[in-house]
Homo-oligomer: A and B are copies of this chain.
Amino acid sequence: MNTKDSFRIGQREFTSRLLVGTGKYKDLNETREAIAASGAEIVTVAVRRTNIGQNPDEPNLLDVISPDRYTILPNTAGCYTAKDAVRTCMLARELLDGHNLVKLEVLGDQKTLYPNMRETLTATETLIKEGFEVMVYCSDDPIAAKELEAMGCVAIMPLGSLIGSGLGILNPHNIRLIMEDARVPVLVDAGVGTASDAAIAMEMGCEGVLMNTAIAHARNPVLMASAMKKAIEAGREAFLAGRMPKKAYASASSPLEGLIHS
């Protein structure tokens, strides 16, 4: 594949379609190695849980994951209200010298980490007014996705399944409904558990996939990061290559013809 298969988020252009988080690794060294192996260009950081300068005397993640090499994407993990999420984005912008690209997540409860969509919509409105470029973690609700896009989000990021569950894309139909109408990039955020899950997301036509636990909680995170890099590229290329039609059997002249109720 040539190098022109890039995509844009807001004003930025990217080649790698795998976005990764920094949580749940054994240590900073493993974090660094796994992220390098993933080939990611965008690395998301939970501002409430990670030191990116708030505590000047402690180890700073940005010393390991350098903003010179990676686009740092601050996220609002751990926020359960619009207010908290907005405040967290403000803090991130300050710490990152005016960097205004953020991943918004406003969670519904600690048990499921499912988004609270009402609060998410409220926070989105505020953040966009405040000049942020908002990539938004959301449910797979196609109507809410359209509202978020109408508000001006630069990327819609529906969950495949619950954060940290590894259950894959449970409702591809809804993700497709979202993509069918979206004019901004749609990226699957959360739920990917293994390489084929990532490939499936890309084969559906998603612009990218964001993951964290699937890499960090694999037995061998660095090898899994490499697997994910290849899976994302494989899925993307398969999407662009145009898969063969499914058929009930090879001799059927049209897809799935022949079989009773197939």
Contact = CB atoms under 8 A, between A and B. Distances in A.
A248 B193 CA distance: 12
A95 to B, nearest CB: 26
A162 B116 contact: no
A166 B203 CA distance: 14
Interface string A132-158: 000000010111101100000000000
A223 B240 contact: yes
Interface stretch (A40-48, A59-67, A82-90, A226-234): A226-234
Copies of the protein in its oligomer:
4
Contact of A193 (B121, B231, B244): B244
Nearest to A250: B164
Interface stretch (A6-14, A49-57, A171-179): A171-179
Interface of A: 1, 108-118, 121, 139, 141-144, 146-147, 161-167, 170-171, 173-174, 176-177, 179-180, 193-196, 198-200, 203-205, 213-214, 217-221, 223-224, 226-231, 233-238, 240-251, 258-262
